[in-house]
Amino acid sequence: MIKHTYASILLFVGMVFMSCKNEPQKEPAAEKSVPPNIIFILADDLGYAEVGAYGQQKIETPNIDALAKEGMLFTQHYTSAPVCAPARHMLLTGKHAGHAYIRSNSEWKERGDVWDYRAMAMDSTLEGQGPMPENTITLAHKLKEVGYNTALVGKWGLGAPHTKSVPNDMGFDLFYGFNCQRQAHTYYPLHLYKNRERVHLKNDTVAPHTPFPKGKDPKDLKSYADFNLKEYAPDLMFKEITSFVASNRKNPFFLYWATPIPHVALQAPQRWVDYYKDKFGEEVPYLADGKNNAYFPHKTPLAAYAAMVSYLDENIGNLVMQLKEEGIYENTLIIFTSDNGPSYAGGADPEFFESAKPFRGDFGRGKGFLYEGGIRVPMIATWPGHISPGSKSDHISAHYDMLATFADVAGYEPSIDTDGISLLPTLLSKENQEQHDFLYWEFPSYGGQVALRMGDWKLIRQNLNNGEPATVELYNLKNDPAETFNLAEKHPEILQKGAKFFEKERQRPELENFQIPLIDDGLLTQK
């Protein structure tokens, strides 16, 4: 009986085994790919050559340089605009300046004395810049739609409190930092914002652009005490960044780190200032003069500026370390860049640091202008296992390419109109990278300017606000990257090509304060 039962069991097992062998085998389930985290670090007024990877000799940036060694360095990357607000707007919306809603800084002065720091402290309706339209779609909206948790830490500048143009209405789950660009003229503000609410800080009321106090000794460090208070905004911002990353280590996230550094005023942790004081030696104090371009005084302005950049570099290193400790560095795309070229105001010294080398970064050529020093910016991208370490690209690209690029990286269709082109093929060292026929810039401020880059050619027109005679400049950037030799008279065919692109691409600004008189009044052809 026992033997019979045992034999029956063997027979049954054998039949099951044979039936299993004859059945088609199922393929193992494909492992679901996890979308990469995306961290976009936007420095403020950092010049093309202010980090070591781009040739900086005086300011030390080992952590940013390490990103370049581990990833790809772009040599021909551009901001979308030469100042803060329009650059950020075009970055987020994927539009070039001929199609963008915001084309310059707009302080929305109709509300009252928006430059009065104390009045803004009492009345939040005086804060912030002119808003984007309520129906604006940003790249943060699109990433949020496909499951990303989104955060903006740093400076906004694209809409005031109590409007629908605040970060939490523009695709960001978390916002922490300066809503208002004018408030960001001090790193020791009275408050920052966490989402829609003010977070009051333990700082005294020292209004931006306060000059050196009369009757005090400029050689005495104690004379500058009012300009270095208790709570340093970048410290607080970085704490929010580390908290956001820690809480999202198991979810795909997009972090837009819009650091205000190194935009003046010159305010930096003293340990870093002391480091560069020892390195640079004695300096002439910067005392400021109370005007808007003066910001705050500093005993050692060169040391302070370098200290700000190295402090940012230090925190970038801390962020990378955290990503590695959380086990998510390998699945994170990091892009580091700047919103425009270097400043020449408030004690910044682009000539001493050669901030825009091989271009010029002084007034007329740096921030606020459409020459290379004002708009060509560093860009470094790392993504372990995807971007080749130590690689370099001379692909011509712009910030407004990011909307299409992030869609490609995250694996979805942008589904909104963009002037940008995905850079993913370049990041992955593929051969199928689409090329821009042109890059377009338009800036109604600083006299009124437009520019086009078409291959190696760069066309610039200035003085378009019906003041001085309008200019026509044409440069071959391959042969003349410093834009020294104007070839406009020798190449009318290039000017004609540019005029066709301009006529096709430009839309009249919706806001009157962004209009350029010679263009929008139809007078440019007469100049």
| Rounded-to-integer distance, Cα 324 and Cα 389, Å | 17
Predicted pLDDT of residue 1: 37
Predicted pLDDT of residue 366: 98
What b-and-e string marks burial along 443-462, b requiring 16 or more CB atoms within 10 Å of the CB? bbbbbbbbbbbbeebbbbbb
Name every residue whose Cβ is closer than 8 Å to that of residue 366 and which is 6 or more positions away in sequence: 47, 341, 342, 343, 344, 350, 355, 356, 360, 373, 374
- E strand map for 314-471: 332-338, 379-382, 391-393, 397-398, 439-443, 449-454, 457-461
Cis peptide before 358 (omega within 30 of 0): yes
| Rounded-to-integer distance, Cα 498 and Cα 381, Å | 31
Residue reference for tokens 């949020």: 144
Predicted pLDDT of residue 441: 98
Backbone angles phi, psi at 73, to 5 degrees: -105, 125
| Rounded-to-integer distance, Cα 111 and Cα 125, Å | 8
Name every residue whose Cβ is closer than 8 Å to that of residue 26 and which is 6 or more positions away in sequence: none
Q: Specify which residues 257 forms β-bridges with.
A: 41, 153
Quick one: tokens of 54? 């781009």
HSE-CB of 521 using CA atoms within 13 angstroms: 9
| Rounded-to-integer distance, Cα 393 and Cα 215, Å | 54
Predicted pLDDT of residue 33: 73
Predicted pLDDT of residue 19: 41
Query: What is the edge-to-edge ordering of all strands in the sheet holding 72-74?
Result: 197-200, 191-194, 174-178, 149-155, 253-258, 37-43, 332-338, 379-382, 72-74, 391-393
Predicted pLDDT of residue 526: 40
pTM score of the predicted model: 0.93
Quick one: tokens of 103? 């084309």
pLDDT lower than 50: segments of the chain: 1-31, 526-527
What is the dihedral sign for C-alpha 156, 76, 384, 47? negative
Do 41 and 336 touch, CB atoms closer than 8 A?
Answer: yes
State the virtual CA torsion across 357, 362, 368, 370 in degrees, nearest 10: -50
Cis peptide before 262 (omega within 30 of 0): yes
Q: Which amino acid does the sequence have at 396?
A: I
Quick one: tokens of 180? 């208002």
Residue reference for tokens 């605009």: 81
